[in-house]
Amino acid sequence: MSGIVGAVEERRVIKININGREYEFEIGVDIQPGTTLFELLRSRVGLRSVRDACLGDGSCGACTVLVDGDPVLSCMMLAADCHNRKVETVEGIAREGHPLIDAFAKNYAYQCGYEAPAFIVTAKALLDKNPNPSEEEIVEALSGIISRAGVYPAVISAVEDAAEALRKRGVS
């Protein structure tokens, strides 16, 4: 066992780009090996759009964020696994002035809004890869997020509106 302990007690610095800003966390000092991305974003960085509705069971999707452009569950990911990667939350997407934010508001794509950040980041990842998704593709992309209020139809309209706004922007 001594060999293992020697190897792991070596401190390691995790560098993560969060919403365009570079952060460094030292394992054993700022975070633990078992700190999840969820805890890191909420408690260390203060990004309160990252939420849970299933106590971290992996089954609600409310904690979704983008890692290197792909939607992942921050509750099911170790912060240490995000070393040298790019993390985006809805705060960053809003700051960019992404049309999804307006489109969600105009379509009333939420009741309480608890899972709206998860829908928005996931839709952003979809639109980055597929600027003109079909309804079926939108439903599939967003299928990992549960809305207790059942706002799904409004969410689909919002994503379609944002896609159109992005295409118009691209043209002008």
Partner 1 sequence: MSGVRALRSFKLVNAGSVDEAARILAEGNAWPLAGGTDIIHLLRFRVLPDGMYPDVLVNLKTISPSLEYINYQDGVLRIGALTKLSAISRDAAVKERFAALAAAAGSVGSPQIRNVATVGGDIAQFPRGWYFRKPDNRFHCLRKGGDTCYARTGDNRYHSIFGEINGCVAVNMSDVAPALVALDAEIVTNKRTIRAEDFWDVRVPRSTVLEQDEVMLEIRIPAPPRGARSSFEKFAVRKAIDFPIVNGAALIGDGLARIVLNAVYPVPYRARKAEEILRGRTDAINEELAEEAADAAVSGAVPLAYNGWKVQVARSIVKRLILPGTRR
By the rule CB under 6 A, 41 interacts with ligand FES? no
CB of 98 to ligand FAD, least distance (A): 28
Partner from ligand FAD, partner 1, ligand FES, none binding residue 62, C-beta < 5-8 Å depending on class: ligand FES
Three-state secondary structure string covering 17-66? EECCEEEEEEECCCECCCCEHHHHHHHHCCCCCCCCCCCCCCCCCCCEEE
Nearer residue to ligand FAD within complex by CB, 94 or 144: 144
By the rule CB under 8 A, 75 interacts with partner 1? yes
Partner from partner 1, ligand FES, ligand FAD, none binding residue 112, C-beta < 5-8 Å depending on class: none
List all residues 6 or more positions away from 55 whose beta carbon is below 8 Å from its beta carbon.
none
Residue found by looking up tokens 């069971």 in the block:
57
Nearer residue to ligand FES within complex by CB, 16 or 60: 60
Question: Mapping DSSP to helix (H, G, I), strand (E, B) and coil, where does residue 109 land?
Answer: coil
What binding mask, one character per residue, do residues 108-137 give for partner 1 by CB under 8 A, x or -? Answer: --------------x---------------
By the rule CB under 8 A, 27 interacts with partner 1? yes
Q: Return the structure tokens found at 149.
A: 């209020």
By the rule CB under 6 A, 73 interacts with ligand FES? yes
Residues 144-163 that bind partner 1 (CB under 8 A): 144-146
CA atoms within 13 A on the CB side of 1: 0
Question: Mapping DSSP to helix (H, G, I), strand (E, B) and coil, where does residue 138 land?
Answer: helix
CB of 58 to ligand FAD, least distance (A): 3
Alpha-carbon span 102 to 12, nearest angstrom: 41
For β-strands 85-88 and 13-18, DSSP reports them as parallel
Residues that bind ligand FES (CB under 6 A): 52-54, 56-63, 73, 75
Residues that bind ligand FAD (CB under 6 A): 58-59
